[in-house]
Structure 1
Amino acid sequence: MSISGDRIRQLRETRNLSQIELANRIGINNSVLSRIESGRRPVADSEINSFADFFDVSGDYLLGRTNKKGSALDNGELEKKEQAEFEAFINNPEHGIFFRDYLSAPEERREEMREIFKILQDKERGRKPGDIQGEN
Structure 2
Amino acid sequence: MHFQRLKDLREDSDLTQTKIAELLHTSQTVYSRYERGFQTIPVEHLLILADFYGVSVDYILGRTNVKETGRQIKK
Q: State TM-score, norm by structure 1.
A: 0.48
Query: Quick check: which has more Rg, 1 or 2?
Result: 1
- Structure 1 residues 29-52: Cα deviation after superposition (integer angstroms, max 9, x where no partner): 211101011111121111110110
Counterpart residue number, 2:66: 68
Q: Which structure would you say has the larger RCO, counting Cα contacts within 8 Å and 6 or more residues apart? A: 2
5+ residue gaps in structure 1?
74-136
1:1-136 to 2 correspondence within 5 Å?
A: 2=2, 5-71=3-69
TM-score with structure 2 setting the length: 0.83
In 2, distance between residues paired with 1:44 and 1:71? 22
Root mean square deviation of aligned Cα: 1.5
Relative distance call for 1:71 and 1:44 in structure 2 (3 A) is farther
Deviation at 1:27, TM superposition (A): 2.2
> Identity over aligned residues, as a percent?
37
Contact 1:52 1:71 in 2 (8 A): no
Q: Quick check: which one's helix share is greater?
A: 1
Q: How many residues align structurally?
A: 71
Distance 1:26 1:55 in 2: 13
Instruction: Give the letter aligned to residue 24 of structure 1.
Output: E
